[in-house]
Every structure is written in C-alpha cells, then in structure tokens.
C-alpha cells in the first residue's frame, strides 16, 4: 500500500511555549499518537493488556520546517519505510493544510521481556506489517481535533 495512514489533530494551548509555538518535543508525541491510532485502525494494540511482546523505540528523529501554533489543525501522514526481521521503521510527514511542517522517523524493535526483566529482541510477529499496510487512508483523529 503506497497511501499513508492519516491522523488529524488540533494543537492545544498547553503544547505551546512562551512564543506560542509548539515545543519541539511534542512532535515526537504527535508521531507516536499517529502510530497508536494506526495500530488501532488495523485492529492491533501497541500495548495490549497481556502483551507477548513490546515495541520500544530504538531511534527517532524529526526535521522541522515550519512551526505549529495554538489551535492549528494538522495532519500526520504515516508510512512504513523499512522492515527488518526484528524492527519496523515508520516515516511521518506533518502538514497544516498545504504547508509542509516537517518530517520524521521512528524505529521500533519487537522484544519480549524475560522473567528477570531483561528485554530480548525477537522477530516481528507474522501478519503485523501486513495488517498495518492494509489499513486504508482514513479520517483518524484525536478527539481534541473536533472539539468546540
């Protein structure tokens, strides 16, 4: 599937700094929110109640091009940009209407946790990548995006 998964959102006041611009760290949360919405849309959970595996972030980056401000509505387009036996890399692009805001990546590793609390890298379960790729572009959004 070449089409991205789309996640729509609105900036909240608490996400801005003294200059009225979204704090740089929030963009990583926006990418993660889009990832979680994507997993839900695929009928999956990144953190089920009784997890057989976990998905820690092993790399993350974001390139900022234009700022977001309080009450801006924006879209996060998410794609799978790389898959290995034990990792999935996502690519994200953020836009406010036709304005390119920036792009980033997150790489997650599939792990299990041993009885003594040690994380052990394991293969990505069969079907996870296919289910994510099979989700059609949709109007996923944060409830805050459509509030009063």
Taking the CA of residue 62 as centre, how many other CA atoms within 13 Å lie in the half-sphere pointing to its CB?
21
Indicate if the alpha-carbon torsion angle 48, 107, 91, 123 is positive or negative.
negative
Distances (CA, A) of 74 to 9, 30, 56, 96, 99: 6, 10, 26, 4, 9
Catalytic position from the list 17, 72, 98, 143: 17
Q: Which residues contact 47 (CB under 8 A, 6 or more apart)?
A: 54, 55
Establish whether 17 is a catalytic residue.
Answer: yes
| Catalytic residue ranges | 17
């Amino acid at each position: 599937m070449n089409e991205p998964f789309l996640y729509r959102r609105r900036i909240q006041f608490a996400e801005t700094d003294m200059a009225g611009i979204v704090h740089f760290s929030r963009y990583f949360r926006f990418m993660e929110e889009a990832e979680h919405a994507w997993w839900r849309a695929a009928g999956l959970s990144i953190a089920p109640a009784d997890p057989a595996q976990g998905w820690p972030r092993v790399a993350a980056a974001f390139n900022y091009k234009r700022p977001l401000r309080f009450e801006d509505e924006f879209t996060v387009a998410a794609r799978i940009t790389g898959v290995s036996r034990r990792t999935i890399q996502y690519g994200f692009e953020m836009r406010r209407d036709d304005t390119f805001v920036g792009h980033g990546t997150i790489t997650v590793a599939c792990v299990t946790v041993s009885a003594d609390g040690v994380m052990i890298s394991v293969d990505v379960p069969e079907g996870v990548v296919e289910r994510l790729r099979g989700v059609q572009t949709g109007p996923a959004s944060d409830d805050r995006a459509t509030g009063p």
